[in-house]
Structure 1
Amino acid sequence: MAYRYRCGECGFKTSWGTESQGERAQIAHYADRHPDLYPGGTVETNGKDPSGGIGCLGVLAVLFLLFVLAVSCSR
């Protein structure tokens, strides 16, 4: 899942990335632009994996196909 943080004080928003990357960018923004305020705002998620991996479902599908192939070849 990818995250994007939005500033609660101005229109700043981080780029899409991991949760920790967004949090660090938001903290740096607040330290630079709003030094007297505690970091706030909102967090958006887009449901996509920033690493681009196929995830568990893809791995299970490949394992299932290998199992079907192995069963069909053993007959």
Structure 2
Amino acid sequence: MSTDSQGGVRELDVRRVEGEPFSDIMEALDAIEGDERLRLVNSFEPVPLYGVLEERGFSYEAEQIADEEWHVTVRPE
């Protein structure tokens, strides 16, 4: 995971995760501090994740960047 210190955005590119990335995503969410955000980079829109995010008190914005690239920016509510 990388961090953009100027923007307070941590980035997790789950395309690079071997196997199921769910636990990596949950760990990254747990590491968010203060007003930081987490940008997930994925090859598809992770619709099943949205319900989990809402249940855990996060809001999100999804944007398709390219044919097989989605960015989902997550922040605590």
Same fold (TM over 0.5): no
Structure number with greater Rg is 1
Higher strand share: 2
Higher helix share: 1
